[in-house]
Amino acid sequence: GENVEQHPSTLSVQEGDSAVIKCTYSDSASNYFPWYKQELGKRPQLIIDIRSNVGEKKDQRIAVTLNKTAKHFSLHITETQPEDSAVYFCAASLGGTYKYIFGTGTRLKVLA
C-alpha cells in the first residue's frame, strides 16, 4: 500500500541552528502535504502545508519544499528555539480520497 517515510526519527539541534526533516511519499496522485507539530499529550497542530502546484512555501521561521518528481518534501525550521521542541509529523493526501497517510514522526529537541 501507499506509505510516507519520514527521517530522521530523532533530531537534536542547538538553539539558533536550523532543523530539516524529510519525507518521501509513494502515491504519485498525492497533491496535498501538511505538517503537524505535536507537543507531549497534546493534539497535532497544523503548522504549514503545501499543495502540489507549489514548490516552496514559507511562514516566518518555517518553510516547506516539495519535489514532485522525486516525491520528496521537507520541513525547514530556522533559528530554532526551545519551544520548537516537539514531535513533527508529515502527511500526504491519498490520491482520489481525502485521507492522509502520516509519516512516523520526528522528535525534535532544541538544546538551550
Partner 1 sequence: DSGVTQTPKHLITATGQRVTLRCSPRSGDLSVYWYQQSLDQGLQFLIQYYNGEERAKGNILERFSAQQFPDLHSELNLSSLELGDSALYFCASSVRQGSTDTQYFGPGTRLTVL
Residues 6+ apart with CB under 8 A from 106: 6, 7, 8, 9, 10, 11, 21, 87, 88, 89
**Any contact of residue 43 with partner 1 (CB under 8 A)?**
yes
Q: Cell numbers for 102, please give them.
A: 502520516
**Any contact of residue 78 with partner 1 (CB under 8 A)?**
no
**Any contact of residue 32 with partner 1 (CB under 8 A)?**
yes
**Any contact of residue 21 with partner 1 (CB under 8 A)?**
no
39 vs 56, which CB is nearer to partner 1?
39
**Any contact of residue 73 with partner 1 (CB under 8 A)?**
no
15 vs 46, which CB is nearer to partner 1?
46
User: Is the CB of residue 80 less than 8 Å from the CB of residue 19?
Assistant: yes
Which residues are near partner 1 by CB under 8 A? 31-32, 34, 36, 41-46, 49, 51, 89, 93, 97-105
